[in-house]
Amino acid sequence: MAPPLLTLQDIALTFGGTPLIESADLSVAPGERTCLVGRNGSGKSTLLRIAAGLIEPDRGKRFVQPGATIRYLAQEPDLTAYATTLAYVEAGLSASDDPYRARYLLEQLGLSGEERPSELSGGEARRAALAHVLAPSPDILLLDEPTNHLDLPIIEWLEGELKGIRSALILISHDRRFLENLSQATIWLDRGITRRMDRSFAFFEAWRDEVLEQEEQERHKLDRKLAAEADWLRYGVTARRKRNVRRLGNLYALRQQRRDQTRAVGTVSMTLAEAEQSGTLVVEAEKISKSFGDRPIVTDLSLRILRGDRLGIVGPNGAGKTTLINLLTGILPPDEGRVRLGSNLQMVTLDQRRMSLDPNSTVAETLTGGRGDTVTIGGQTKHVIGYMKDFLFSPEQARTSVGVLSGGERNRLMLARALAQPSNLLVLDEPTNDLDLETLDLLQEMITDYSGTVILVSHDRDFLDRTVSSVLMSEGNGRWVEYAGGYADMVAQRGEGVQARAVEREAKPKAEKVAATPQAAPASKRKLSFNEQHDLKTLPRRLEELEAKIAKVQEILADPDLYARDPARFQKAMETLAALQSDLGTAEERWLELEMLREELEG
């Protein structure tokens, strides 16, 4: 067996007097793919930065084979020192690397190379950073949350790219399917120490449960009193996983029921709609269409959502998933057709942006609204401390200010507050972003135990498979098709998963067609028209203005009480947001066409 390329031995590190890592070991052999897992705040990213040589530990040894090259992907890459994304990617290449790989990777990741770093969105910066670390084909790749802010086509492309390279990998990710498909070994960082399993992440949960059960038995054997206020944070996971086995069985039954309903709706949907009892029908869309300018978002869609359904909505970025949710929930009117909402609907939207959390409030005040020390869940009153423990908060955190919570803790607090609000329709738009595995477990448990109806948008394939009863898939050009089952069932029926938007795949051929048209002047003589030059010059500024306007409207919508306080203003803000997002998409497509045309003419 080849010796490890990178080794960490007995690593320890303390922050602010509190030990973060007490005794961690890590090693990776040539070509080996290892995932590093653990709860948010356990020190995974810190350990990866130690492996990259960016942090010096208090104790322990770091060894890298002489001559081995390492590339590290940070969660928040810094591109500010570079004029363009291409310059940033090329800066990572050495003299022996293939110079064309930089442009190839940028193209595969949906970037032209001419983007200015100051104007990039979070997803675009992440894609540029991926190209930067992949282009040199290093011996070791250290990737911290590489799938954050990526849509499904890019995630699946990245999986294939990582499977095909020779580099050794150490991955941190909250995307279960991504880890299962790539990892060969699993390192678990828990309470400052590491444990290694020489199997893929697919076996992690069962292995973790065995380790925790063995620990619990040993504690009892030693007759030590369990530190209950800390142990439920870890041992509760085992019980949740076992409960989820039963829930998955219920979900499969619900999917079969949905298959039967889908087949029936195809022939007698109107009759069934009229025959439904009051409260059973949640949403009925009849031949609805919605366009922004020349771009169709929804075309002739008929859909029925019944009480208890779990509908997953999937598609590439820009397909109009959020607009579709707004149409189905009555926030945005369709251009054609009608949407009928069921009676007595109470909708709660999960705000994963966390903008509506008051940083000066305590955890307990956030959950109770500052009124007393109890919360009411499903008509039953529960003490706030007990409710906090359900979401992995310790009793000592009741008086902790929201402003000092970690990102993962804020996500859990948002989940807890959303569930505490009375509702029978839960709308979740990308709820899994930046959630750790334990919080994903909680969200999955919340959805499967929820007695109402769920409409869910997500790029997390595993999460969709664990939670939804049917998938509504964007087929392009405003066409949406419902498939019974989860994401894997949809792929089996379609023969493929989510693909990049058709307009993006067709943009380059359109640009090439200018030079290929017989009546057109030869490419070497053809020049951009005055209007094309003007658009190419002004569009970046236009994109920046649109993004700023969208951010302002999103700040208004982040107010959780806005809908109840001022429904008219809420609806106007939603319509404005949808129009701005459409304008942004149109402007981005125009800029992309012109950039490709310019490159074609200059090349």
**Where is the binding site for ATP, in residues?**
38-45, 315-322
Strands 59-64 and 6-15: antiparallel
Q: How far apart are CA 49 and CA 68, in angstroms?
A: 17
Task: Identify how many contiguous H helices and E strands the chain contains and give both numbers.
Answer: 19, 20
Contact assessment for residue 435 and residue 411, using Cβ atoms and an 8 Å cutoff: yes
322 to each of 55, 331, 485, 577, 579, how far by Cα in Å? 40, 11, 21, 10, 12
Cα angle, residue 431 at apex, residues 34 and 206 outer, rounded to 5°: 40
Q: How far apart are CA 270 and CA 248, in angstroms?
A: 31
- How many CB atoms within 10 Å of residue 340? 13
Contact assessment for residue 354 and residue 414, using Cβ atoms and an 8 Å cutoff: yes
> How many residues appear in the chain?
603
Q: How far apart are CA 518 and CA 61, in angstroms?
A: 67
In 87-203 the beta strands, taken as DSSP E runs, fall at 140-144, 168-172, 185-190, 193-197
- How many CB atoms within 10 Å of residue 45? 18
- Tokens 């090259």 belong to which residue? 69
User: Residues within the annotated binding site?
Assistant: 38-45, 315-322
Angle between the N-to-C axes of helices 152-164 and 122-134, in degrees from 0 to 180, rounded to the nearest 10? 10
515 to each of 166, 399, 508, 511, 532, how far by Cα in Å? 39, 67, 12, 8, 16
Residue 563, judged by CB atoms within 10 A of its CB (0-12, 13-18, 19+), counts as middle
SS in 3 state form for 404-423? HCCHHHHHHHHHHHHHHCCC
Contact assessment for residue 29 and residue 4, using Cβ atoms and an 8 Å cutoff: yes
- Tokens 């390192």 belong to which residue? 187
